[in-house]
Amino acid sequence: MTDEFSVESVYAELLGRAPENKMEPRLAPLFRAMDVLGEPNKAYPIIHVTGTNGKTSTSRMIESVLRAHGLSTGRYTSPHLSKVTERISIDGHPVSDETFVRIWDEIRPYLQIVDAELEADGQPRLTYFECVTILGFAIFADQPVNVAIIEVGLGGITDATNVGDGQVSVVTPISLDHTDLLGDTTADIAFEKAGIIKPGGFLVSAAQPLDAAQVLLDKAKDVGVPFRFEGVEFGVESRTVAVGGQMVTIQGTAGRYPDLLVPLHGAHQAQNAAVAVAALEAFFGGKELPFDVLQEGFAAVTSPGRLEVVRTAPTIIVDAAHNPDGIKASAAALQEAFTFSRLVPVVGVLKEKDAEEILRELKESLGDVAEEYCFTQSNSPRAVPAAELAELAIDLGFGEDNVHVAEKLDDALEWAVERAEANDDLSGGVLVTGSITLVAEARILLGKTEA
């Protein structure tokens, strides 16, 4: 049996390549890798998921229902929260250490061939993300899985995952994020994400800004694929808060599904559920889904790091929202599902994100329930220094007395818990948010070693 060190040694080898945030806008090396490996990208049908927010939750919903149908699934998502194997899941669980290492050992010599060709051509060798993506495709072919749910890393057109052709292309809500790489308007960003829409496929899209919707529609018509948009052909009919989540009635493209338990919080997760339903209907040839199977699949859904309660007394919630629209959706869900009289946010942001807009949205969306904020930073070299975030918050009117700085996350959590417990009625809570890396570290500190 492969031991933990072996997985860590492979991970260290991967990290020795260009980092995740240094994605190369290219696909030729990925197609070359697929070619030398015997085209694992064509070994199973693919549901390809892009968008700005909600990709991972939607992917997990689709996967859970497919499993309830009795299908073997592969799910590729990024980034991971606690261990690299989480990115490549088989039947709802991270790939085994043994398989992860075995397949890496098998494909390494072929990737070295591609690396050598790239270097001879004066190009950077395969990046970290490109290698993990190739590894994911290879593992899914090795299993083999009945269907793969593949989440785009960034954009679409030249994303490493785009060597796979989606039988269904899914686009979750698009908003401004990664503007330095994808463009300054939602139309520009939609153009990049529309790159996953392929001839012979099917487009399912969440409701979008008008300019983004038009871009997606034009691309679908250009390549001749059927399309379904939330708010036109399908959507959330109603929802009510329930213990541990919400009851949602969804009007799909082929059927109506009343009173489904979705064990996740917020209107945005109900929207993700509707998109998942439409994608599944498309995958099964436009047929109505068996209600009991859909119910079973949704009831089993989890989405670690998304409004996840990781400790009680006081309640500590972690949420991986890392752009203004994500913050807005999560804040609304938080206030709908929980009754905090005092909430103490612990906030960290990465440098490539719009920290000012994130903080502005936090202040506006959380309102009076959050007065005191603790600004901190993850261990990522891309993290904005805590003091810099605090300075920005003061400039935005948070109030100097309400801003606390703790460079280390454990110190930040200790301070926030103390402030949350200052309430006599014991109804205080702590929210850790602003970056996935911060949420990942908080989960591990608080004993959540698996996702």
pLDDT at 280 over 70: yes
Instruction: With beta carbons less than 8 A apart as the criterion, state whether 111 and 35 touch.
Output: no
Q: How do strand 403-405 and strand 373-375 relate by DSSP bridges?
A: parallel
Q: Tell me the pLDDT tens digit for each residue of 55-64.
A: 999 999 999 9
What count of residues does the chain have?
A: 451
Q: Residue 390 has what pLDDT? A: 97
pLDDT of 168 above 60: yes
Computed from CA positions of residues 154, 156, 161, 167, in that sequence, does the dihedral angle turn out positive or negative? positive
Q: What is the dihedral of CA 31, 33, 38, 42, to 10 degrees?
A: -40
Over the stretch 115-153, which tens digit does the pLDDT of each residue have? 999 999 999 999 999 999 999 999 999 999 999 999 999
Q: Tell me the two tokens of residue 256.
A: 């109506």
Confidence label for 2 from pLDDT (cuts 50, 70 and 90): very low
Return the sign of the alpha-carbon dihedral for residues 296, 81, 322, 328. Answer: positive
DSSP string, 112-163: HHHHHHHHHTT-----HHHHHHHHHHHHHHHTT-SEEEEE-SSSSTT-GGGG
Distances (CA, A) of 162 to 14, 48, 268, 271, 303: 20, 9, 26, 25, 24
Q: Quick check: 59 and 151 in contact, CB under 8 A? A: yes
Q: Percent of the chain having pLDDT more than 70?
A: 96
- The per-residue pLDDT for 449 is 79
- What pLDDT sits at residue 98? 96
pLDDT given for residue 182 in this prediction:
59
- Angle of helix 97-120 relative to helix 28-36, nearest 10 degrees, comes to 120
| Cα–Cα distance for residue pair 81/449, rounded to 1 Å | 9
Kindly tell me if the per-residue pLDDT of 1 is higher than 70: no
pLDDT top residue among 411 and 422: 411
Lowest mean pLDDT among 104-113, 127-136, 304-313: 304-313
For the segment 178-195, what is each residue's pLDDT rounded down to a tens digit? 545 655 789 999 999 999
Average pLDDT over the chain, rounded to an integer: 94
pLDDT given for residue 3 in this prediction: 46
Supply the pLDDT for residue 155: 78
- The two structure tokens encoding residue 432: 């850790």
| Helices assigned H by DSSP within 143-285 | 179-182, 186-193, 210-223, 267-283
Give phi and psi for 113, each to the nearest 5: -65, -45
Q: CA 45 to CA 254: how far, in whole Å?
A: 21
Q: What is the arithmetic mean of pLDDT over 282-288?
A: 97
Give pLDDT, residue 192: 92
DSSP at 75: E
- What's the average model confidence in pLDDT over 96-115? 97
Calculate mean pLDDT across residues 71-93.
96
Distance CA 45, CA 41 (A): 9
Domains of the chain: 4-299 (3.40.1190.10), 308-445 (3.90.190.20)
Token duo for residue 374: 């603790």
Which pair of structure tokens corresponds to residue 244? Answer: 């541990």
Q: In this prediction, what percent of the chain has a pLDDT beyond 90? A: 87
